[in-house]
């Protein structure tokens, strides 16, 4: 039994949660890796259940910076159509650069996570207190028309917008 920093990504044999490269693990040749403590297992479970950021590990830090810059500097209007579901929206025509808008929508589709809004499912992407989602298009489609002219955002409400397991 040795304590070490994980050299490759694995799974905890106790809680089943991922052990990212570099995390502190206890490792035994015949048993495999585990979190150092039960508290670390519990924390890993909590983290995995939280509606956190994108789960797609293919997002690069550069892409994260770009999407944050674009979405945080976009102009947002309060949606008046659904007062019971407070949210804001930004329209493609409000963006100075069409390619940036297109890129942002595709990026949300690529690395976002599925979530429910009312009775429909959309692809969500979280930054800070907000979750962002775009409303159109089939993410699996090769059709290169973007299929939407707006992106929505709302303050994250973990109880009302569930993440599909």
Q: Is 41 in the site for Zn ion (CB under 5 A)?
A: yes
Of the ranges 4-12, 50-58, 78-86, 136-144, which one interacts with Zn ion (CB under 5 A)? 4-12
Selected range binding Zn ion among 3-11, 29-37, 85-93, 147-155, rule: CB under 5 A: 29-37
Alpha carbon distance 111, 108 (integer Å): 6
33, 67, 76, 81, 120 from 71: Cα distances, Å:
39, 6, 9, 22, 23
The only residue of 12, 33, 151, 161 in contact with Zn ion, by rule CB under 5 A: 12
Contact 61, 111 (CB under 8 A): no
Q: Taking the complex as a whole, how short is the minimal distance between the CB of residue 24 and Zn ion, in angstroms?
A: 11
Residue 14 binds to Zn ion (criterion: CB under 5 A): yes
92 φ/ψ angles, rounded to the nearest 5 degrees: -55, -40
Bridge partners of 88? 78, 153
Applying CB under 5 A, which part among 31-39, 86-94, 129-137, 156-164 lies near Zn ion?
31-39
Q: Residue 108, interface with Zn ion (CB under 5 A)?
A: no
Single out the segment in contact with Zn ion by CB under 5 A; choices: 38-46, 52-60, 64-72, 85-93: 38-46
Please say whether the beta carbons of 95 and 107 come within 8 A: no
Residues 113/164, Cβ–Cβ less than 8 Å: yes
- How far apart CA 148 and CA 159 sit, in angstroms, is 27
Q: Which of 15, 67, 108, 161 binds Zn ion (CB under 5 A)?
A: 15
Kindly state the smallest distance separating residue 21's Cβ from Zn ion, in Å: 16
Which residues of this protein are in contact with Zn ion, per CB under 5 A? 12, 14-15, 35, 41
């Amino acid at each position: 039994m040795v304590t070490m920093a994980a050299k490759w990504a694995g799974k905890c044999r106790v809680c089943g949660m991922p052990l990212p490269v570099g995390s502190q693990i206890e490792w035994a040749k015949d048993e495999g890796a585990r979190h150092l403590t039960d508290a670390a297992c519990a924390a890993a479970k909590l983290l995995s259940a939280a509606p956190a950021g994108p789960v797609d590990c293919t997002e690069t830090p550069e892409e994260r910076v770009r999407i944050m810059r674009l979405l945080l500097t976009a102009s947002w209007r309060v949606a008046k159509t659904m007062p019971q579901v407070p949210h804001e929206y930004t329209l493609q025509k409000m963006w100075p650069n069409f390619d940036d808008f297109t890129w942002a929508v595709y990026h949300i589709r690529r690395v976002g996570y599925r979530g429910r809004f009312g009775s429909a499912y959309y692809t969500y992407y979280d930054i800070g207190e907000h979750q962002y989602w775009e409303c159109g298009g089939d993410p699996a489609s090769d059709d290169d028309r973007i299929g939407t002219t707006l992106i929505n955002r709302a303050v994250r409400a973990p109880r009302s917008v569930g993440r599909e397991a």
